[in-house]
Structure 1
Amino acid sequence: MAVHHQTGKEGEMLARQYLEKLGFEILHQNWRDEHREIDIIARKDKLLVFVEVKTRRGYRGGWPEYAIHAKKEADLLTAAQHYLEENPFEGEVRFDVIAIVFDARQQPHVHHIPDALQ
């Protein structure tokens, strides 16, 4: 597996653990809709959260959350709409970003941005 894929998988695992500690139930991980993917779909009470996880090793490439470009955001919104058509939900829906950076000692730093996408 390529290094960046491994880094992404590690980040998704950490994001999942982080959300579970906050009391979220993970409904899906890597949910696919045609060519689109939602990294994590989680629920807590009457809140459904679609989560995009971005992970980097170091800050050289910039902050991970800035890697979400307009097409990726549009794809996430479309995939979420299709998910909700298949799985109706009565409650609040939110789009979060969890950005994870591994520092020089390979320690992860988690930055959770609730309601990151409008």
Structure 2
Amino acid sequence: MAKHNELGKEGEKIAVEYLVKTGYKILETNYRYIKAEVDIIAQKEAVLVAVEVKTRSSNYFEDPQDAVKAKKIKLLVSAIDYYVSQRDLDVEVRFDIIAILHQKNKIEIEHLEDAFLYF
């Protein structure tokens, strides 16, 4: 597996651990719908949360969260729409980004709730 793929998988693992510690219930990981993949689908109280995880070893070019572009947002929204309708869920939906900067032995986690409001 390519080094950047390994970093991404490690970041998703860190994000799941972080979410569990902060009171989220993990419902799905790596949920796929057509061309979309939602890294984590979680629930906290009555809110369904779709989480995009971005992990980088450096923020030299851009912060991890800045890598989530309009096309990715559109795919995530369609995947969650399908997920909710297939399960006939009546829940509030929120889209978060967990940005992880993994440099040397230091890990920084930034959890952006309702992240797509800022795009």
TM-score, reference length from structure 1: 0.94
CA contact (8 A) 1:46 1:90 kept: no
Deviation at 1:4, TM superposition (A): 0.6
Q: How does 1:1-118 map to 2 (within 5 A)?
A: 1-103=1-103, 105-118=104-117
Paired positions, count: 117
The alpha carbon displacement at 1:87 in A equals 1.6
Q: Secondary structure at the match of 1:15?
A: helix
Q: Mark the runs of 5 or more structure 2 residues left unpaired by the alignment.
A: none
Shift of 1:117: 1.3
1:54-91 deviation line (CA, Å, top 9, x unaligned): 00002123100000111011111111111111122223
Return the letter of the residue paired with 2:36: R
CA shift at 1:93, angstroms?
1.1
12-21 vs 83-92, which deviates more? 83-92
Could you list the runs of 5+ residues in structure 1 that have no partner in the other structure?
A: none
Shift of 1:11: 0.4
CA RMSD in angstroms comes to 1.0
Deviation at 1:44, TM superposition (A): 1.6
Moved over 2 A (4+): 88-91
Q: State the identity as a percent.
A: 43
